[in-house]
Structure 1
Amino acid sequence: MTPRSRPRGGGRRPVALGRLGDFALFATPGLVLYAVFVLAPVVMTVDYGLTNRNPFNPPVRFVGLENYRLLFHDSDFLHALRNTLVITVIVTVTANAGGLAIAHLLDRRGWIYNALRSVFFTPVVLSAVVVSVIWQSILSDDGLLDSLLRDLGVHHPPGWLSDPSLALYTIAWIVTWQLLGFCVVVYLAGLQGVPKELHEAAALDGAGPFQRFRFVTWPLLAPALTINTVMLLITGFKVYDQVQVITNGGPGSGTTSTIAFSVVQTAFTDNHVGYASAMATVMLVLVVCLSVVVLRLLQRREVTP
């Protein structure tokens, strides 16, 4: 072995250690922030859910799974779970369908289409509270929509927010309206990634517009469908702002209450922090399980051009 070959062989370890040190230098701040603001709250929530924690009624006692046993016999929580599932299903289906239809219409060149894309995406960047206030003023009994209907001859317009049979679906519509632009952008990206050669080849084979969409475009939009469905599913489960601002859980008793709304009310109004933490843990488990299942199912049909 020559003298020159020794520094080469011996220099590998310092280079590797140097790269590891650089990685640790850049990754540590992010990992620390993730641990402090994500992992630690999750662990604390699970821990609180096993106790009877109440800041105004000490001492704290370990109660095990008692909170979870009570949850699944609590009619208010089960009603909130049902409302959450209804909102999630409506938002996921309608936002996906509407986003795909609008994206197909906007998949053209021209300044007017670029402007329309910005218009549809604007609600996404607005605060949910701002959107809720706007729609509350439009849909209230003396709001813009009912006033317009009265001018058109409808003497008894629907109570969009005051009718218990309509209020939940109104909330779902507002959430859908705000998320529609996100779906449009994702589907537009997917449509613009479909090779034109495939459409031309299908047209030469005699395929019509519907057949080209069914057998060429739709399979290649599978990744966009996966992204939109998972995002909408997660957003639907954590709906809170719209319920708090527009209906405050009403009209009536818990008509539009969701799990997220029930968690906040139970923890900060009723001060039953342990019970609310058990609710939050159940919501977290449901979101994770459903997201994983949906992600696995949708990824199976993904193809590449």
Structure 2
Amino acid sequence: MVVDLSAPPRSRPAPARRRRRPRGRPRGPGLWHFLTFAAPGTLVYLCLVLLPIALSFGYSLTNRSLLRPEAEFVGLRNYRLLLEDETFLESLRVTTILTLIVIVVPNALGLAVAVLLDRRGWLYNALRAVFFTPMVISSVVISVIWTRVLADDGPLNQALRAAGVSDPPGWLSDPDIALYSLASIVCWQMLGFCVVVYLAGLQGIPQELSEAAAIDGAGPVRRFRSVTWPLLAPALTINTVVMLISAFKVFDHVKVITNGGPGTGTTATVAFVVLQEGFVENRTGYASAEAMVMLLLIATLSVVTLRFLRRRETQL
């Protein structure tokens, strides 16, 4: 065998070099990231949400009182008493009526106002701010203003007398209409939220869809029913769930405007009864049981409503 010594030696391929991770780049989610980002929020949630719920449930199993430091374990007695408490059952009826009104009226009026304000111009921008202003005002301030407006000798009744109505209604003193007057005030304050959400939904609809429907011969009503309304399904979901939760825990308006009256429990909501039992009657354990039932009802209704409306979104 002849070896050519003049030929250059074959070079072996260099081994593949491992790519080094740049210094300072994190290797992935780890304990440090959890402690930096997730732990503070988790701690706040535990202290301000889960811990109060756990304490309230514990109190609901006792006969605890604000004026008596010692408490005895009574089991589910407080929950059994709720089923026979006419005041609590009446508050559930009042809250149900109030919630239904607050869900339907602001949604319907908010959609109508949003359609009217879905235009360009400084006037429409100013009107949007006007409709949203009640949302940023304190509920107590809103309640004080409307208490004066709807009083028996208030501006509204004086205007009705001037118009020829000899016996105007007692908006807040008549047990038959006091609840509906209260619901109207809550609806007026919550209207701005629904308007803003529906406006956001309308402005997110591609203009080409409405133009294509118009070219096909669809009128304004048909375009709204076939194009606009199905695409507003997410906005309807948000408004319905928020109105449900907000109406079910109304307290400020009831306390300031009617204080649960006129009469006995005419406008007393569940939240009002809970605070009355806990801080006026000093029955902390019983009030905690009422609060747990209220929490369970809100959570159940919210989950059921959210799933139903989400399923409707996918079907549309």
TM-score interval for Structure 1 and Structure 2 normalised by the shorter chain: over 0.9
CA distance in 2, matches of 1:13, 1:47: 47
User: Which residue in 2 is equivalent to 1:268?
Assistant: 279
2:5 aligns with none
Q: Name the CA distance, whole Å, in 2 between partners of 1:193 and 1:6.
A: 45
The TM-score normalised by the length of structure 1 is 0.94
Residue type at the aligned position of 1:167: A
Residue from 207, 210, 216 that aligns with 2:218: 207
Q: Which residue of 1 aligns with 2:28?
A: 16
**Closer, same or farther in 2 for the Cα pair 1:304/1:65, shift >3 Å?**
closer
Paired AA for residue 312 in structure 2: R
- TM-aligned CA distance change 1:70 to 1:2, over 3 Å: farther
8 Å Cα contact 1:103/1:185 also seen in 2 = yes
Q: In 2, distance between residues paired with 1:152 and 1:16?
A: 74
Q: Report matched runs for 1:25-64 at 5 Å.
A: 25-57=36-68, 59-64=70-75
Segments of structure 2 that go 5 or more residues without pairing to the other structure are 1-13
Q: 1:150 to 1:28 in 2, by over 3 A?
A: same
Q: CA deviation at 1:75?
A: 0.5
Q: Structure 2 matches for 1:220-299, cutoff 5 A? A: 220-299=231-310
Q: Quick check: 1:216 aligned with 2:244?
A: no
1:51 counterpart SS class? coil
Change (3 A) 1:3 1:210: closer
SS in 1 for 2:28: helix
**TM superposition shift of 1:7:** 5.4
Q: Which has the higher helix share?
A: 1
Q: When the two structures are superposed, what TM-score results if normalisation uses the length of structure 2?
A: 0.91
Aligned to 2:186: 175
CA shift at 1:20, angstroms? 4.4
8 Å contact kept, 1:249–1:261: yes
Report deviation, 1:4.
5.8
Q: Which residue does the alignment assign to 1:119? A: 130
8 Å contact from structure 1 (residues 222, 303) kept in 2: no
1:197 partnered with 2:228: no
- Per-residue CA deviations over 1:247-293 (Å, capped at 9, x if unaligned) read 00000111100000000000000000000000000010000000000
Question: 1:158: which partner in 2?
Answer: 169
Q: Offset at 1:16?
A: 2.6
Q: Could you tell me how far apart the structure 1 residues matched to 2:31 and 2:295 are?
A: 34
8 Å Cα contact 1:51/1:63 also seen in 2: yes
Q: What is the rounded CA distance, in whole Å, between the counterparts of 1:240 and 1:172 in structure 2?
A: 12
CA distance in 2, matches of 1:205, 1:97: 28
Asked if the contact 1:150/1:157 (under 8 Å) is kept, the reply is: yes
Partner Cα separation in structure 2 for residue 28 and residue 15 of structure 1: 19
Counterpart position of 1:98: 109
Assess if the C-alpha contact under 8 Å between 1:133 and 1:246 holds in 2. Answer: yes
- 2:9 counterpart residue number: none
Over 3 Å counting, the alpha-carbon distance change for 1:25 and 1:12 in structure 2 is: closer
- 1:23 deviates by 3.8
**Post-superposition CA distance 1:9-41 (Å, at most 9, x none):** 9x8996236x54134212222211111111111
CA contact (8 A) 1:124 1:182 kept: yes
Cα separation, 1, equivalents of 2:26 and 2:211: 56
Q: Note the alpha carbon deviations across 1:61-105, whole angstroms, 9 max, x for none.
A: 111111111101111000001000100000000010000000001
Q: Tell me which residue corresponds to 1:140.
A: 151
Change in 2 beyond 3 A, CA 1:211/1:21: same
Number of equivalences: 303
Secondary structure (helix, strand or coil) at the match of 2:313 reads coil
Between structure 1 and structure 2, the one with the greater Rg is: 2
Structure 1 residue corresponding to 2:198, chosen from 187, 192, 195:
187
* Residues 2, 14 of structure 1: alpha-carbon distance in 2 compared, 3 angstrom cutoff: farther
Moved over 4 A (4+): 1-4, 6-9, 11-14
Gaps of 5+ in 1: none
Quick one: which of 90, 96, 110 aligns to 1:79? 90
Distance 1:304 1:204, change over 3 A: farther
**Identity over aligned pairs, percent:** 61
For residues 123-178 of structure 1, the C-alpha deviation after alignment (integer angstroms, 9 at most, x for no partner) is 00000000000000100111110111111111110000000001111110000000
Report SS of the residue matched to 1:63: coil
